[in-house]
Amino acid sequence: APSSSALRRASASASRARSARVRPNFSRLAAAWRASAARAACLRCRLRLTISAMPRG
């Protein structure tokens, strides 16, 4: 029983170390994706405004 709890604790610490190593890269990727998504939404909104401002013949 004590060996299984120690093993569980070791695996938890290893997974935590792995996630800590991965997280900075992932957060940078997520920030870049969020910025690009916001830029795309802004472009879409601007395009819609331009189309609505155009006089339709």
Helices then strands, counting H and E runs in the chain, come out as: 1, 0
1-57 pLDDT tens trace:
668 888 888 888 888 887 777 777 888 889 999 999 999 988 888 899 888 888 876
Report the distance separating Cα 9 and Cα 44, nearest Å: 49
Q: What pLDDT sits at residue 1?
A: 60
Domain count, the chain: 1
Q: Is the dihedral of CA 23, 24, 27, 32 positive or negative?
A: negative
Q: What pLDDT sits at residue 57?
A: 63
Q: Which domain holds residue 26?
A: 1-57
Report the distance separating Cα 17 and Cα 20, nearest Å: 5
Q: What is the full DSSP assignment across 14-38?
A: HHHHHHHHHHHHHHHHHHHHHHHHH
